[in-house]
Amino acid sequence: MERSLVELLAKKRDGDALSAAEIARLVQSYMEGSFADYQMSALLMAIFFRGLDDAETVALTEAMLHSGRVLDLSSVPGTKVDKHSTGGVGDKVSLCLAPLVAACGVPVPMVSGRGLGHTGGTLDKLEAIPGFRTEIASERFAEIVAKVGTCMIGQTREIAPADKRIYALRDVTATVECIPLIVASILSKKLAEGIDGLVLDVKVGRGAFMKDETRARALAEVLVRVGTRAGKKVVALLTDMDAPLGCAVGNANETREAIDVLHGGGPADLVECTLALGAEMIVLGGKAATTADARRLLAQAIARGDGARVFEKMIDAQGGDPRVVSEPTRLTVAPVEVVVRAPVGGFVASVDALAIGLAAVVMGAGRARADATVDHAVGISVCAKPGAEVGAGDALARIHVHAAADAAAIAERIGGAFVIRPEPGHGPSPLVRERLGA
């Protein structure tokens, strides 16, 4: 006889593995209303303490994925590959990465999120482009990916609705920090894009969701194993998020820096992150045999301006002003610039990504609550990255605000994010700490 839902709850509470059919029934019953919020909360807590094995995590991912619609990209030829970052400060990689990878022949369908707390979101950066729309119907999304090579949209109500409801419960039941639940949450949304391959950028460090390297590696390992068992090609890179990525923080500011990368410029760490992730995507997409070959293709796409052209076409297709790519000064910037100066000379030992991200939220560039709006024009530009030598009075950062009165407290906060030592340290930590996957 079929067990009742309460018996299934007791099964997990007692540490036994649930079958795929049982997990599917629990999620479906929750979505239909016959398994209540308080029962799902109890299940989440049981999972928090008892864990899920890989088969259960695959089953939960698939149950959440099939709670909504899987985008149909069968009309788009080729192996479709996306990237997902667990989020950080100054992480504008998607904006330059997707057009570059698409220019190398790999279609990139991308469903992105908004910033929350100290981490920024791709949609907010894209919406700094005048007219740009991130709400696009799924048929049009497939058309744009087929025609341009990439399209970047926001999550619709049809994509993994179970994740949205379960995440809201996790948020208020202290069950967010649970690796199988994080994996099912991330992968259910990504697999709904209709992709064949996924490259994960698992950030680790002060400004990351996972601050500890052991936990970040454990998350990356489960993401790769579960994604692979779900039938996708998956690679993960563990990348540094102790300091902000690149120099620009804030929406229009970050979009400008991503455009800079498309034109062959940009800070070294941002370029390296883009090339490292892009090379993995191109190999998964079957357009190069090795990451070294893929890097050559990416370098060519930058040098010939192919990535910039794809970005222009994508912006145009999504209702934005494509002229921002050749004329980035068209992007908004707040009128008052204040320079944060080094109090002493020496070497920058660290720049605290979390402190910079929180300062950006206070300035209005990020949101403390999911329903808040963001100011695209304000931003911070880090002038001295870890390892840099500075003299007393040199610029550590520049901030852009609407009024000088807004600046003093922010400038003090940002100054506090820099540690300056008299001796040179080891310089910046390597950007890619580890690679996991096939």
H helices within 197-290, ranges in order?
213-229, 251-262, 268-284
Binding to ligand URA in span 131-170, by CB under 6 A: 167
Question: Closest approach of Cβ 263 to ligand URA, in Å?
Answer: 31
Question: Closest approach of Cβ 167 to ligand URA, in Å?
Answer: 6
Stretch that binds ligand URA, among 62-70, 174-182, 394-402, 420-428 (CB under 6 A): 174-182
Q: Which is nearer to ligand URA, 188 or 318 (CB)?
A: 188
Single-letter amino acid, residue 293: D
Burial class (CB in 10 A: 0-12, 13-18, 19+), 307: buried
Strands 197-204 and 233-240: parallel
Residue 69 and residue 405: Cα distance in Å, rounded? 48
Q: What residues act catalytically?
A: 84, 163, 170, 185, 189
Stretch that binds ligand URA, among 35-43, 150-158, 182-190, 412-420 (CB under 6 A): 182-190
Q: What is the layout of strands, in order, in the sheet containing 432-437?
A: 81-85, 197-204, 233-240, 432-437
DSSP-assigned beta bridge partners for residue 155: none
Q: Which is nearer to ligand URA, 223 or 288 (CB)?
A: 223
Q: Where are the beta strands (DSSP E) in 276-407?
A: 336-341, 346-351, 379-382, 389-390, 395-401
Work out whether 110 is an interface residue with ligand URA (CB under 6 A).
no
Question: Closest approach of Cβ 170 to ligand URA, in Å?
Answer: 7
Which one of 108, 182, 380, 390 is in contact with ligand URA (CB under 6 A)? 182
Residue 145 and residue 251: Cα distance in Å, rounded? 24
Residue 206 and residue 196: Cα distance in Å, rounded? 32
Residue 411 and residue 380: Cα distance in Å, rounded? 10
Which one of 9, 111, 159, 186 is in contact with ligand URA (CB under 6 A)? 186
Residue that the structure tokens 């910033």 belong to: 115
Q: Which is nearer to ligand URA, 47 or 351 (CB)?
A: 47
Stretch that binds ligand URA, among 104-112, 175-183, 318-326, 337-345 (CB under 6 A): 175-183
Q: Which is nearer to ligand URA, 121 or 346 (CB)?
A: 121
Sequence-distant (≥ 6) Cβ neighbours of residue 265 within 8 angstroms: none
Which residue has its beta carbon closest to ligand URA?
185
Residue 249 and residue 356: Cα distance in Å, rounded? 8
Stretch that binds ligand URA, among 178-186, 211-219, 299-307, 382-390 (CB under 6 A): 178-186
Of 278, 280, 330, 332, the closest CA to residue 306 belongs to 278
Stretch that binds ligand URA, among 92-100, 180-188, 194-202, 295-303 (CB under 6 A): 180-188
Which one of 67, 94, 150, 185 is in contact with ligand URA (CB under 6 A)? 185
Question: Closest approach of Cβ 28 to ligand URA, in Å?
Answer: 20
Q: Which is nearer to ligand URA, 87 or 278 (CB)?
A: 87
**Would you tell me which residues interact with ligand URA (CB under 6 A)?**
167, 176, 181-182, 185-186
